[in-house]
Amino acid sequence: MARRATSNSQLFPLCVMFLLATILLSHAVESYGLSLLRPSDCQPKCTSRCSATSHKKPCMFYCLKCCSKCLCVPPGTFGNKQTCPCYNNWKTKEGRPKCP
């Protein structure tokens, strides 16, 4: 029985394709706001999100609460909530947005 050896020249294109697919997928996930934060990332993200409001304490409280549940904070200081569906769709009992 002859053993069939796998050469480096056969593995190299597969590795390159896998690497490119991984890069493209991670870029797409980040572009559409689907990337998940670690809980330790919530404080700096919420500090940035709440930086332009005059109501910093309640903004930070709700932003941190939303971030810990959704592991996502929209970019910028206002709007862009469509990038974080969980953050965007969480409502108060009255039907208003819960997350700043």
pLDDT digits (tens, 9 = 90+) for 78-100: 999 998 999 999 999 999 999 99
Q: Is residue 63 in a domain?
A: yes
pLDDT 10s digits, 8-53 = 667 777 778 877 776 665 555 544 545 578 889 999 999 999 999 9
Q: Which domain holds residue 54?
A: 39-89
Q: Is residue 2 in a domain?
A: no
Write the CB contacts of 42 (distance below 8 Å, at least 6 apart in sequence): 63, 64, 67, 68, 71, 73
Q: Is residue 30 in a domain?
A: no
**Residue 6, SS3 per DSSP:** coil
Residue 82: strand pairing partners: none
pLDDT on residue 74 = 94
pLDDT band at 5 (very low <50, low <70, confident <90, very high): low
Q: Is residue 26 in a domain?
A: no
pLDDT on residue 96 = 93
How many domains, in total, are found in the chain? 1
